[in-house]
Every structure is written in structure tokens, then in C-alpha cells.
A = this chain, B = another copy of it.
Amino acid sequence: MSTLHAPAPAGEAPAVKPATFAQALNTALADALAADDGVVVFGEDVGTLGGVFRITDGLTQRFGRTRCFDTPLAESGIAGMAVGMAMNRMRPVIEMQFDAFAYPAFEQVASHIAKMHNRTRGAVRLPIVIRIPYAGGIGGVEHHCDSSEAYYAHTPGLKVFTPATVEDAYLMLREAIDSDDPVVFFEPKKLYWSKAPVDLAELKDRYENRSPERREGRAVVARAGEDATLLAYGPSVPTALAAAATAAAEGRSLEVVDLRSLVPFDDETVAASVRRTGRVVVVAEAPGFASVAAEIVARVQERCFHSLAAPVRRVTGFDIPYPAPKLEKHYLPSVDRILDAVDDLQWED
């Protein structure tokens, strides 16, 4: 299990009791349900059980079965019903139990959720959040560890978010729910139990009284550095931060950018970092071919070509199905693999 990286730069009071990533999500859902009558949470086992990862724990008990409820076991049904509920002025937050179990809903997502607003020239908004626990590192059996973000990021009309910190788990889920556009919200499973000294009540206040300046869609520099930039998101952010820490000990200063939002993409923050460092490694867990990582490489070379001292490297999953538990360690981007890629960035040139 990946350990948690340092808390976000936002200067927390040190005495705060740590919250887990899962708690942050749960609290975000509860706060959103409390804030807006139109928010409804549904999916498989999200009601009485509180979800297989307990992200919806206690919501039915607190808000009643009309606000958080179990559905029959059918993902296309869940997504399709969400379309209708959103058309009829609700804000559905739906859970796909695991990444690969969102595939049955693919037609509803790609052909309707992504396209209804465009189809109706803006008349119909679909403020739907599709929560997908994703990626590996938890020793899960087949179909429970896919990194499926590329399918959605490639589909115009969807926003794609993925938090990497406890604070972002809360804030980005609130932003996703408040977004008038559909958001595919990818939750890195292996971070569910990660902790940080975050005061969730304070976050709620901060979010609900936030300044108009938006964080949504923005990347953040998770660690500042000078020699090269690691671009990472979701489950790979802690790995990238760990690599940067190791590199620092070896005298190399790596900047880590946490992309947070894959769609929209924060070209500005990325380009600013790349132009400064001139060297880039993109880290992501999904198979590399035709992936979000490929997009990032393409964008970076399109926009920052003349700043690059070396080709942009990718450290991604292999182009193979996610391995069985006993082999996943060979698949996952590791600190060593990232550092090897950094070493490869033609420092002698």
C-alpha cells in the first residue's frame, strides 16, 4: 500500500486529527446532500451497506432512502436513470462499484451523458457525477483494478477529475457535484485509507465560502523543484512525490505537478513548469498506449518543444491487462522506474 505524501501546502494547523481519503469523500457527499435537496446518491450497495468501500456510509441512515439508495444490479440502468433524473432537475451522484464494472454503462455515458447538453444546444444540463473507484495497488482480482480514465477523457462532453490528496478528495468531489457538466470522478482505491491532518469541517466552510477564483480544472505543483518535472495524477502522485524525495536525497531537484483534472486540462500550470525545468517524465498507471499519458506527452511537446532538453518520457503501466495480485508490483509505476526515467533525460547533452 502506498504511503501518504505530505499534506497540501495550504498550511494546516498541526494539531488536527487526521482524516482518511475515504472519510473526506464521505463527508463531501454528506455535505453536498445537506447543501442541495436535488443531490441524490445511488448505485449498487451504496445504501444500507454504505458501499463496498464505505464511501457512502451512513448517508441513507442520515438522509433517508429517497436521497441515497440501492439500485438493482445494472450499471447501464444506473447511468441511464441518472440521465433522466438530471433532466428532471436533480443532481445524481452515481457509484460504479469498480472500474471495469462501469463498462456496461459505456453507451449511456458516451452517447448520452457526454452528449445531451450539446445535442440540445444547452437546453438540457446533466449535472451527473459518476464516481469510479479505480486503479490498482490493492491486490484486487481481475476487473477490479483497471485504470480506465482514457476512455472517458477521450470522450468530449465529460469532465474527468481525479484527486490525490485527502483535501482534494473533499474539495474536488464537492466541485464535481456542483458542476453543471457531467464529471467522471476517479477515486484511486489505494489511497482510500491514506490519511492527512485535514479538518473536514474547516474544509466545508472553506468550500462553501470560497472565493470566486476557481480551483476546478487546475493542476497544482505538489512539490517544487528545478531539474525536471514529474507530471502525475491520482494514484501516481504519491509515487511521484516519493521519487522526488529520493531524488532530492541524491541531489536532484524534481518538481511534481498533480494534474487533478484531466479534462479540462491545465496547460498553463504544466507548461510553466516544463518551460522552467526543460525535462519531463509523465507518470500514470494505465497502459500507456493511446492513454492520457500519451496526450500529456503530445501536448507538452507541441507547446514546449523548444524548452525540452530531452524527449518527454512516460512511466506508465505496460500494454497488458492489469496483472493478478502476485504480479502487480511489476506493473505499477515505481519510484525506481521513475528515477530511471529521470536518469534517462539526457543530462549529459
A contact set with B: CB distance below 8 Å: 76, 100, 103-104, 106-107, 110-111, 114-115, 118-119, 142-143, 150-151, 153-157, 262-263, 265, 286-287, 289-295, 297-298, 301-303, 305, 308, 310-314, 318-321
Residues of B within 8 A of A314 (CB): 298, 302
- Closest-by-CB residue of B relative to A155 is B287
Interchain Cβ contacts under 8 Å between A and B, 24 examples: A100-B107, A103-B106, A103-B111, A104-B106, A106-B106, A111-B143, A114-B321, A150-B290, A151-B151, A151-B154, A154-B286, A156-B287, A156-B320, A265-B289, A290-B291, A290-B292, A294-B297, A297-B301, A298-B301, A301-B311, A302-B311, A302-B313, A302-B314, A303-B311
Q: Is the CB–CB distance between B111 and A154 below 8 Å? A: no
Q: Complex formed: what's the CA distance from A295 to B312 in Å?
A: 13
Q: Is the CB–CB distance between A103 and B114 below 8 Å? A: no
Q: Is the CB–CB distance between A100 and B104 below 8 Å? A: no
Residues of B within 8 A of A107 (CB): 100, 103-104, 106
Q: Is the CB–CB distance between A154 and B150 below 8 Å? A: yes
Q: Is the CB–CB distance between B302 and A297 below 8 Å? A: yes
Q: Complex formed: what's the CA distance from A302 to B155 in Å?
A: 25
Q: Is the CB–CB distance between A290 and B301 below 8 Å? A: no
Residues of B within 8 A of A313 (CB): 302
Q: Is the CB–CB distance between A289 and B154 below 8 Å? A: yes
- Closest-by-CB residue of B relative to A116 is B321
Q: Complex formed: what's the CA distance from A293 to B297 in Å?
A: 11
Residues of B within 8 A of A298 (CB): 293-295, 297-298, 301, 312, 314
Minimum distance in angstroms from A92 CB to a CB of chain B:
20
Q: Complex formed: what's the CA distance from A290 to B160 in Å?
A: 12
Minimum distance in angstroms from A74 CB to a CB of chain B:
12
Q: Complex formed: what's the CA distance from A174 to B112 in Å?
A: 35
A295 with B301, Cβ < 8 A, contacts A103-B107, A321-B114, A321-B115 known: no
Minimum distance in angstroms from A313 CB to a CB of chain B:
7
Seed contacts A104-B107, A294-B294, A303-B311; 16 additional CB < 8 Å A-B pairs: A103-B106, A103-B111, A106-B106, A153-B289, A153-B290, A154-B289, A156-B287, A263-B289, A265-B289, A291-B295, A294-B297, A294-B298, A295-B298, A297-B298, A298-B298, A305-B310
Minimum distance in angstroms from A296 CB to a CB of chain B:
8
Residues of B within 8 A of A301 (CB): 297-298, 301, 311-312
